[in-house]
Chains A and B, each alone.
Chain A
Amino acid sequence: MPRVLVHGSDPPLEAALAGRAELELVRDGDAEAFLSLGPPPRLRALADITPQEWTERFGVWAQQPFWAFQAWLRGALERGQGGRWVAVTTTLGAQPFPGGGPDGAAAVALQTLVRIAAVEYGSSGIRANAIAAGWRAGSIPDGLDAELALADTPTGRLVSDAHLAATIAWLLSDDADQVNGEILRLDGGYTITAGSRPDPRTQ
């Protein structure tokens, strides 16, 4: 059972992960894997956001996870037994989305750091992947028309905590041994649809 060092807080997802027998979640100490959890996404228009809000969103989405990852990485390299990093990010970075600028930009910054980690440390047995999580039941951001989001999701369902936990467990498992540097969209196909009607905020 791999020990998974968790950074960030997402109680419903952590509860779903705790129910999986193949993972042991820990908050400190040595661990074979590192799991960074992003905060709930927020929407904010770029013309209005303050510098304080802007840097705060970058901090929680990219800066703090990176430093936590680096600390884990140094330990993993010292142990010499490889490791795995899975970063849970947001689909706001998968396409330009009105209001999604601050969180989307910061999320893709972290995704690039994941891909760099995959390239730089693959030869040390470290795999790194990210999930771009779509709209989740219970965490629809203020300002998003939930009905519209659902209508534009081909599966007709929001992403559940169980879906997300299963994807994380797979990426951490040996079954995903050759998956490295991947940004896996988990959004029911929402990102690839054109959108059934314009968002009134952009008109």
Chain B
Amino acid sequence: MNPVYELDGQVALVTGAARDRSIGRGIALALARRGADIVVNDIAFEDEAATGVAAIERLGRRGVFIAASIADPTECERLVAETVRRLGALDIFCANAGVAHWQMLADVTEEAFDQIVAVNLHGCFYGCQAAAAQMRRQGDGGRIVVTSSVNAVRPSPTLGVYGATKHAVAQLVGVMAREWAADGITVNHVGPGWVDSNINDRSPDFATDELQAAVRATIPLHHRPVQPDEIGDAVAYFASPGARMTTGAYLRVDGGSVIGKY
């Protein structure tokens, strides 16, 4: 592999990475393929996480699963401490965990609002804050890559609260990049469009073949959803030596779905 993109000897922590068809799995494997050891984090799903850890080990890397809820700041600190205890350091933090509910604004429930905000925004921040503190202690900088969404830039009906959290996260990335540049920490985000992942299995937008065909027609590049490993490739770029002077950046991986319309 081109050394510009190698991650040999790096330790990465990926949140929301246990599920078999998740973006987190795609990120974890993309980083492992480039040489990083991986902590797979999720709130549960230990059986599926074991599959991911086994795949990481087949690539010749170390892989461990640590269950923790990133919505709890104390849990985030424990997650980071446990990562360092088991794999020796934390060089790359991928704030990827997210949840979605599809509701019009007049129908948004308190339960859905609280869960989306707790995981997508608060959890993202608590995780980044704990990871950055560890990177500061290590004294050699670090990489933070956040999974935002095309909803950070384009409003989608029924995804109001989800989009609000993703826009907030996008803004937060810029401020983290500014404030933590002095510590040598880069902070960037990738914006997935329609991904063929477990989170979208409940989406009313993709509920039937007809609806899926309609969405495919709006994606200029190959008329298909993005695969989780394609998000992983973008994350791996931000984590790599090749991106050492890139911070506060946004990379959409959506097949061009939000470039204008029609």
| A residues adjacent to B (C-beta < 8 A) | 45-47, 49, 51, 54-55, 58, 62-63, 66-67, 69-70, 73-74, 77, 93, 95-101, 104-106, 108-113, 115-121, 181, 202-203
Chain B contact residue count (CB 8 A cutoff): 45
Given contacts A45-B179, A47-B132, A101-B179, contact A116 B174 (CB under 8 A): no
A95 to B170, CA, bound (A): 10
Residues 100-149 of B at the A interface (beta carbon under 8 Å):
104-106, 108, 110, 113, 117, 121-122, 125-126, 129, 132-133, 136
- Ordered by A's residue number, 23 sampled pairs between the chains whose C-beta atoms are within 8 Å are A46-B129, A49-B129, A54-B122, A55-B122, A58-B121, A58-B122, A62-B164, A66-B108, A67-B110, A70-B106, A77-B106, A96-B171, A97-B178, A98-B179, A105-B125, A105-B171, A106-B168, A113-B164, A116-B159, A120-B157, A120-B158, A120-B160, A202-B182
A63 to B117, CA, bound (A): 9
Q: How far is the CB of B183 from chain A (nearest CB, A)?
A: 9
The yes or no answer to B83 lying at the interface (CB within 8 A) is no
The yes or no answer to B184 lying at the interface (CB within 8 A) is no
Closest 4 CB pairs of A and B: A96-B174, A116-B160, A101-B175, A109-B164
Q: How far is the CB of A121 from chain B (nearest CB, A)?
A: 7
User: Given the complex, which residues of B lie within 8 Å of A110, measured CB to CB?
Assistant: 164
- From A105, A108, A112, B160 is in contact (CB under 8 Å) with A112
User: Given the complex, which residues of B lie within 8 Å of A54, measured CB to CB?
Assistant: 122, 125
User: Given the complex, which residues of B lie within 8 Å of A62, measured CB to CB?
Assistant: 164, 168
**A46 in contact with B105 (CB, 8 Å):** no
A47 to B248, CA, bound (A): 16
**A109 in contact with B175 (CB, 8 Å):** no
Q: How far is the CB of B73 from chain A (nearest CB, A)?
A: 4
The yes or no answer to B163 lying at the interface (CB within 8 A) is yes
User: Given the complex, which residues of B lie within 8 Å of A115, measured CB to CB?
Assistant: 155
**B169 in contact with A105 (CB, 8 Å):** yes
**B172 in contact with A101 (CB, 8 Å):** yes
